[in-house]
A = this chain, B = another copy of it.
Amino acid sequence: MHSEVVASRSADQRDSSRESRNGTPQLDAVSLAIIQQLQEDGRRPYAAIGKAVGLSEAAVRQRVQKLLDQGVMQIVAVTDPLTVGFRRQAMVGINVEGDVESIAEALTAMSEVEYVVMTAGSFDILAEIVCEDDDHLLDVINKRIRALPGVRSTESFVYLKLKKQTYMWGTR
């Protein structure tokens, strides 16, 4: 009933914040374990987490704070869009002529756009749209996205049924 992740801390396990070349902070095993705990329950007390990962309450608190400050993770409530009144969703594949980045930027600025990713393949950009109804969705796709200068074509995939949505990265 005392499953410690790490019994002793060796050198390479405690570099909780070293920058790798691309600027993203490098995470050690302990921080990973902390994140894992908070992925199960975002409100789990620091002491309980400490017990699980083999750290003091204060140490866990400091690391969590740093992870939040660094933007490595955030602790938030996530919901099923349907239950909060958004009944139409779609993934939109977009092809761009010219600067892809600027189009992506414009999409990011739209509040109905939940998700924007630049891709390799037959689309340059994939964007997820979350709307209240068909009219709203139609408006966003036809009037706002297609109106952006540089958007060559779009293809829409209206969601029929959401089957899975996980937030368990790093928990495998």
Contact = CB atoms under 8 A, between A and B. Distances in A.
Given A76-B76, A91-B126, A116-B162, 14 more contacts: A25-B83, A42-B42, A72-B80, A74-B78, A75-B78, A77-B167, A78-B167, A78-B169, A81-B169, A90-B119, A105-B163, A113-B164, A119-B159, A121-B157
Contacts of A160: 117-120
Interface in A111-137: 111, 113-123, 126, 130
A107 interface: yes
Contacts of A77: 35, 38-39, 42, 73-75, 167
B118 A159 contact: yes
Interface of A: 24-25, 27, 32, 35, 38-43, 71-86, 90-91, 93, 104-105, 107-108, 111, 113-123, 126, 130, 155-167, 169-170, 172
B78 A117 contact: no
Given A122-B155, A166-B114, A78 B79 contact: no
Contacts of A121: 155-158
A165 B127 CA distance: 10
A159 B42 contact: no
B115 A165 contact: yes
Contact of A75 (B42, B73, B93, B172): B42
B164 A126 contact: no
B78 A73 contact: yes
